[in-house]
Amino acid sequence: MALRPGILCHASPLRFDRQSEHEVMGGMNIHVNVEFQDGVTWLARIRRSNATSPPPIARDYIILSEIATLQFLENVNVPTPRLLGYALEADEGNNVGVGYMLIEKLPGKPLDWARATEDQKHRIIDQLADHTIELSKHPLDKIGSFNRPGDEHIGPIAREEFSDVTDGAIHALGPFTTTSTISSTKF
């Protein structure tokens, strides 16, 4: 697959040391820089898969939710990396073998709260407050997850602990109309 036709690229070698740990690991993903010869850098978010991972159908459901969420945030005034491409684990042409996303790499460094100075922490909290205010201008009528790219429909919660896979189908909880409904739901 040509990422940017006519422009060569390479993936940066992965380093797993204390210094680069926050740059490479992102929750359930491994982050790999894709560097193009013209200086543009993308980030490949590759879903980790191991013995404790949820089944493939659940992993794909979560990635679709992440994609739909990125698209929503891109349409409101909240800084977010632009989605450039993706494949699900179940996609026939996916030669990577696990789900992944290609996103724009934003400037900056991953947050390391324990090492942040007081001034940095205050700036981060101020930015989070600004983003929360912006998001409050786009109220949603349910509690759940975006789960269909290109659609602002709120569906069931896309988290492993809120879902179950039986008979090859995912059964996720939600969406909910109130927080008390979530509390009273039997998991």
CATH (one of 3.40.640.10, 3.30.200.20, 3.30.365.10, 3.30.70.270) for 9-184: 3.30.200.20
pLDDT of 91 above 70: yes
Residue-level pLDDT at 22: 60
Instruction: Say if CB 172 and CB 158 are below 8 A apart.
Output: yes
Q: How far, in Å, CA of 180 to CA of 39, rounded?
A: 50
Q: How far, in Å, CA of 49 to CA of 98, rounded?
A: 7
Q: What share of the chain is helix, strand, coil (3-state, %, to 5)?
A: 30, 25, 45
Domain definitions of the chain by residue range: 9-184
Instruction: Say if CB 144 and CB 157 are below 8 A apart.
Output: yes
Residue-level pLDDT at 49: 83
| pLDDT one-digit tens code per residue, 36-72 | 999 999 999 999 888 888 899 999 999 999 999 999 9
Q: Count the neighbouring beta carbons within 10 Å of the beta carbon of residue 20.
A: 11
Residue-level pLDDT at 160: 85
Residue-level pLDDT at 173: 92
| pLDDT one-digit tens code per residue, 139-175 | 999 999 999 998 889 999 999 888 888 888 899 999 9
What is the reported pTM?
0.87
